[in-house]
Structure 1
């Protein structure tokens, strides 16, 4: 090597050995066999490898390449990356292999726990599926395969394959590709250990919150809207509106919006610690238990029943008799305010029955929304008749002083909520879901008093579950076997404790 030569050293943080071996000169692979053996040994030990190679360049050749490289480096535009890659390919060839080094590549904190069996249980996967890639819903590829798939004529097929997969695992991708993936993702994790809590805790909570929120939103709008429809039928489609225009505007804007938001933000059927103890709760979302068609139809019927009770009960109670001592009878204005009051109370009390985790914010939103209705009705009625029109002093001087109004409101609310309350009571008693059982165990503190029961339920929650008739049959069989075993133990103890048995076993025949 003369004074006009330049030595170029190349370092490759490699995952596939072909990355460096493909760039060696014809006489540059003297240590290739030994390097391959070292790479295999390091990979088995989990080390991160760094390969070394060099190339001798003439100074003129280096300066020519450097000018191309600097021009590509200073280029502004979408072609910059392509020019830099081309410049790199020009110089990183005809290399002489020196060897490979390895350093310990420690896992991030909590990675092994995030790949534990409880994460596999919540996803319904086997460990072998993740290790060997035997699950058909997974797609695993590396940076070399990605480059080929994106630049060749199979790009469309590769895209279709990735879209059809439930999960895609990218290995050794470039920082730019990682950035693109993060920008197109719903969630991005700075550390792998956050995956466990994201799935088991927030995944379960998010599914429950969104499902309950959407179903309740359907319920409350059906309950409110059907009263208008019923009134039109009752008046032979006269065209009169049961509620004042301001009442209809306030319903979704202020009087029922905040409780729905609190349900979608703060609801927790179980605590985060319990979610981590019972990862199978996550599978409720995979099986779509809470947002099934039967649930949707059930909430539609619940809203229909609530609207029917509110309308028919108030029509029956307030007509044709007078509701005040002065002999006043109810007209469209009175019916509108009375039914509107019942609807506000019913839908807000309904969401109170749905919520399983109360905070002071939820109490404020629910009961504050009901109080806000009375404040608005009084303030709106205090305006001059030109503005308040038929709502003028409707609460303070008309229906507010009538005991019948308050009694009817209470009775209508109870009857309207009774079907849902009865349904949920029977469901928890006869066909409880996993979260119902865990809630009762935590509420009754059976995890403290009966630790064995708590551990047994925790183990059962991590098993593959069955749904429907088969599950009920298996449960009855297990219950029968447990009862039979207890009876056998009881009979054995009663027999062995008798004087006859003790004297018989102590005789010389048993010595």
Structure 2
């Protein structure tokens, strides 16, 4: 949790654009108010005695002050034109976003049946950003992979020992019985069980009577025992009797879970070993020379029956896999407490070791250690496991001087590379015997660091570095972590959508590269650049060289692989610009051996310097930093706790769900929200301009031809519900089309639906429509006995109708709910006008709107004015869309036209096929039974490819 710096408040890109356009609205409001206030004062100054102007009560002329009058007029117009700043917009935005999240949550395609975990939205205000992602930063383990660790092989003393994974249907208890309880079986049985026969011989050897360094024991046998002892005790695994259930509670938290990362990668029941007082079995070999094909098991010491379940609970699946590997070879962890660890060892039985210190793993040291004291000899032994880069560089001098030690080191290094090239996760194992005096000296410094109030973490890390040195290499392990289902297809599809994907992992470079190719992050025809340097100068030179190569040949896709140490140089200010220029040309990047802080730093520089929208996805506590740094943080509820999920904006159960979340829901949310914003600005601007034009012909008196009640209801009720529903339900394309054509997603990152110029286009459109809306009725009623209320009523009817028709032009898909609500809303508006004008005598004091609506409807000119004005006002908008769809369509429009043409062709072909012949008597006629020369399967295939066509069967 040290990587969690607290959540960052996040705003979507469209929200930032809204704030910018609200500033333009405020400036427009100030301009209109200043203009009308100045015009009002100028108009009043034409009169000698302004207080005598009819219907304009200005009071006594002695108190008349020009500056005061200008301030009063300005304040009056602030109230009249205040709708130009859409204050209800923010409430409407929250409702629309709530609708977006509701429908995403209801999508069963984002529900993972295996774990029972649905999609969860933890941030309501950035759903539309899912449709504008430029970069995805992903963890590897548990995010791209299953995080189900399978022990595959190990290297001990420079010798490679492959391990055959246990069959999924073989229970661990049966496996243990098969391996040790029935040792009289042949060696082939042991091989089939998945265990390495040679290791079993060495572990069961009676030469080992105690721990520690024994001169009378062969070095290879002692190394094997020490290796598996390290696997059993160098961890934080807890032994319990009952496993926890891995599920979310009502509060959204997951209890500490028991995860069975067994050797076969399945979830079998935990092994059960119960100590029996009457029978005690020790795994040993009676006679190694008696037979080369069989093993005998003697009954001595203590036996473990399978009556009671022992559950291993680990912080990570890696530790659990290693503990289970040690158990499968007879080195079983029985119990752990704060000060002691109990293990069962072949040839020795129960052994209790005193734990002196546990040096926890951290991302800087890249290793963990445990210091124990041997119960008999009193030796202090340090066991360490960690990354090869953190272990091999701290070996003692014998590995650089003695030929035998050099050979062991070289063989082990080769095996590690071999494992990594197979895509396995590798760890190195080492030990060190510490002298009593050295330990006591170190313990004093460690206690001081532990008691420090400032820089405690740094002091503890330095103290651990002081004791973790001069190692004796024991070996290495290779653990397989299989890819999640659908990851390669998801990565390939997201890359086609124009999204650049980075994988940030702490694994070895070879492992990360193999995973990158298997996930289709890198393609075979892609140019892959390797960046691994020892200092900042060489890093700068290598990046400059790569940039020259890219500029010479820009036709090929480029991928980049960079390790953690080189990344630290590249993130420095002197190299940062060159690094950013390089990664801009890269379609995919793999960063290996990186720390959690480096993950956050990489996301931050891309977000802040490239001004791109970033998405980070991870499953563990090490991913919290980058999840919170990214514009969108997605947590995967996996096997490493809930820290990533609790720090994220959205949570999913599998990486493959990103495909639907971004390409479908992200695209829809962006499309809906962008059109919703445009319409809301348009709606408020047109009503404001209509009021402005009236001021010119009313002496800038502040009068309004639209009734105050209806003007208020127009914003709140009459024209608010249809755009809200449209902003939640409108779909430009079906989910299937978006899935099959990931290139359509590029519309979001480019921001073409709502640019920085969109507001001015909306302004011009609403300005023209307001001119038509005001001046056509004005000219029609000019020099007639039509009153202000009848004039305003006609204008209000046209305003509502134009807004609805404008919304219809901008709508891509219609549902019965949208039709129903729009019709009901318009009828409700008419009913309100009729009822209020029929019964309300002084609703618009000092005017009297009594019976105005009824009288207006009785005149034939009213309907004619409404129709003509609506058509003329919408002609520019309609023609703009016609020309856009015809001559310069975007990708979505082109795909929509293509689908409609295909559907029309299928409809005409189906009609022709069904009318050509009559089927034989006794057969039912359907779409496939035709005399067309095409094969029936081809006909069926073409017909079922249509998304919208459905034809009934025809019977003879």
| Aligned residue runs from structure 1 range 107-186, under 5 A | 107-116=483-492, 118-123=493-498, 128=526, 129=557, 131-132=559-560, 135-136=583-584, 141-142=591-592, 144=594, 160=605, 163-165=608-610, 166=612, 175-185=620-630, 186=632
Offset at 1:9? 2.7
Offset at 1:306? 1.3
The structure in which a higher percent of residues are helix is 1
Partner Cα separation in structure 2 for residue 292 and residue 163 of structure 1:
20
Offset at 1:136? 2.5
SS of the counterpart of 1:421?
A: helix
Match of 1:19 among 377, 383, 390: 390
| Aligned residue runs from structure 1 range 369-380, under 5 A | 369-378=825-834, 380=836
Question: Are 2:799 and 1:343 aligned?
Answer: yes
- In structure 2, the partner of 1:311 is 774
**Range 196-205 or range 160-169, more displaced:** 160-169
**Range 48-57 or range 268-277, more displaced:** 48-57
| Aligned residue runs from structure 1 range 11-160, under 5 A | 11-12=385-386, 14=387, 17-27=388-398, 30=405, 31-57=408-434, 85=461, 88-89=464-465, 92-116=468-492, 118-123=493-498, 128=526, 129=557, 131-132=559-560, 135-136=583-584, 141-142=591-592, 144=594, 160=605
- In structure 1, the partner of 2:915 is none
Are 1:380 and 1:388, in contact at CA under 8 Å, matched by a contact in 2?
Answer: no
Offset at 1:305? 1.9
- Structure 1: tracts of 5 or more residues without a match: 322-328, 451-511
Label 1:276 to 1:244 Cα distance change in 2 as closer, same or farther (>3 A): same
Partner Cα separation in structure 2 for residue 339 and residue 236 of structure 1:
19
Label 1:158 to 1:244 Cα distance change in 2 as closer, same or farther (>3 A): closer
- Write the deviation string for residues 486-508 of structure 1: whole angstroms up to 9, x where unpaired: xxxxxxxxxxxxxxxxxxxxxxx
- In structure 2, the partner of 1:226 is 689
Partner Cα separation in structure 1 for residue 454 and residue 811 of structure 2:
52
Offset at 1:348? 1.8
SS of the counterpart of 1:239?
A: coil
Label 1:203 to 1:64 Cα distance change in 2 as closer, same or farther (>3 A): farther
Offset at 1:113? 0.6
Partner Cα separation in structure 1 for residue 740 and residue 670 of structure 2:
18
Partner Cα separation in structure 2 for residue 84 and residue 355 of structure 1:
63
Are 1:119 and 1:196, in contact at CA under 8 Å, matched by a contact in 2?
Answer: yes
Partner Cα separation in structure 1 for residue 615 and residue 467 of structure 2:
32
**Range 183-192 or range 40-49, more displaced:** 183-192
Partner Cα separation in structure 1 for residue 669 and residue 726 of structure 2:
11
- In structure 2, the partner of 1:359 is 815
**Range 247-256 or range 162-171, more displaced:** 162-171
- In structure 2, the partner of 1:247 is 710
Partner Cα separation in structure 2 for residue 228 and residue 187 of structure 1:
45
Offset at 1:254? 2.5
Partner Cα separation in structure 1 for residue 850 and residue 428 of structure 2:
86
Partner Cα separation in structure 1 for residue 451 and residue 857 of structure 2:
78
Partner Cα separation in structure 1 for residue 709 and residue 458 of structure 2:
62
Label 1:68 to 1:107 Cα distance change in 2 as closer, same or farther (>3 A): farther
Offset at 1:48? 1.6
Offset at 1:356? 0.6
- Write the deviation string for residues 471-499 of structure 1: whole angstroms up to 9, x where unpaired: xxxxxxxxxxxxxxxxxxxxxxxxxxxxx
| Aligned residue runs from structure 1 range 250-399, under 5 A | 250-292=713-755, 296-321=759-784, 329-378=785-834, 380-381=836-837, 384-389=840-845, 390=847, 392-394=849-851, 397-399=854-856
Label 1:9 to 1:293 Cα distance change in 2 as closer, same or farther (>3 A): closer
- In structure 1, the partner of 2:124 is none
Label 1:273 to 1:395 Cα distance change in 2 as closer, same or farther (>3 A): farther
Offset at 1:176? 3.5
Partner Cα separation in structure 2 for residue 90 and residue 3 of structure 1:
24
- In structure 1, the partner of 2:675 is 212
Offset at 1:355? 1.0
Offset at 1:396? 5.3
Label 1:277 to 1:70 Cα distance change in 2 as closer, same or farther (>3 A): farther
Label 1:51 to 1:422 Cα distance change in 2 as closer, same or farther (>3 A): same
**Considering only aligned residues, what root-mean-square deviation do their CA atoms show, in Å?**
4.0
| Aligned residue runs from structure 1 range 429-508, under 5 A | 429-446=886-903, 449=906
Label 1:359 to 1:72 Cα distance change in 2 as closer, same or farther (>3 A): farther
Are 1:69 and 1:84, in contact at CA under 8 Å, matched by a contact in 2?
Answer: yes
Offset at 1:343? 0.9
- In structure 1, the partner of 2:649 is none
Offset at 1:184? 3.5
Q: Give the TM-score normalised by structure 1.
A: 0.71
- Structure 2: tracts of 5 or more residues without a match: 1-211, 213-375, 501-521, 527-556, 562-581, 637-653, 908-956
- Write the deviation string for residues 448-487 of structure 1: whole angstroms up to 9, x where unpaired: 739xxxxxxxxxxxxxxxxxxxxxxxxxxxxxxxxxxxxx
Partner Cα separation in structure 1 for residue 904 and residue 413 of structure 2:
55
Partner Cα separation in structure 2 for residue 145 and residue 305 of structure 1:
58
SS of the counterpart of 2:410?
A: helix
Are 1:255 and 1:373, in contact at CA under 8 Å, matched by a contact in 2?
Answer: yes
SS of the counterpart of 2:429?
A: strand
Offset at 1:80? 7.2
Offset at 1:205? 2.7
- In structure 1, the partner of 2:885 is 428
Partner Cα separation in structure 1 for residue 755 and residue 679 of structure 2:
14
Match of 2:383 among 2, 6, 9: 9
Partner Cα separation in structure 2 for residue 200 and residue 255 of structure 1:
34
Partner Cα separation in structure 2 for residue 23 and residue 93 of structure 1:
5
Offset at 1:418? 2.5
Partner Cα separation in structure 2 for residue 423 and residue 345 of structure 1:
20
Are 1:381 and 1:388, in contact at CA under 8 Å, matched by a contact in 2?
Answer: no
Offset at 1:269? 1.0
Q: Give the TM-score normalised by structure 2.
A: 0.40
SS of the counterpart of 2:497?
A: helix
- Write the deviation string for residues 344-386 of structure 1: whole angstroms up to 9, x where unpaired: 1111221111111223443344334323423443454466544
Label 1:428 to 1:160 Cα distance change in 2 as closer, same or farther (>3 A): closer
Are 1:49 and 1:102, in contact at CA under 8 Å, matched by a contact in 2?
Answer: yes
Partner Cα separation in structure 2 for residue 275 and residue 332 of structure 1:
52
Are 2:603 and 2:626, in contact at CA under 8 Å, matched by a contact in 1?
Answer: no
Are 1:227 and 1:311, in contact at CA under 8 Å, matched by a contact in 2?
Answer: yes
Partner Cα separation in structure 1 for residue 459 and residue 905 of structure 2:
67
Partner Cα separation in structure 2 for residue 371 and residue 71 of structure 1:
80
Partner Cα separation in structure 2 for residue 378 and residue 120 of structure 1:
58
Partner Cα separation in structure 2 for residue 374 and residue 72 of structure 1:
79
Partner Cα separation in structure 2 for residue 346 and residue 161 of structure 1:
45
- In structure 2, the partner of 1:464 is none
Task: Decide which structure has the larger Cα Rg and report it.
Answer: 2
Partner Cα separation in structure 2 for residue 120 and residue 401 of structure 1:
63
Offset at 1:220? 1.9
- Write the deviation string for residues 8-47 of structure 1: whole angstroms up to 9, x where unpaired: 33232x3xx3222234343468433222212211222111
Partner Cα separation in structure 1 for residue 395 and residue 838 of structure 2:
90
Are 1:39 and 1:100, in contact at CA under 8 Å, matched by a contact in 2?
Answer: yes
**Range 187-196 or range 97-106, more displaced:** 187-196
- In structure 2, the partner of 1:188 is 634
Partner Cα separation in structure 2 for residue 51 and residue 360 of structure 1:
65
Offset at 1:112? 0.5
SS of the counterpart of 1:422?
A: helix
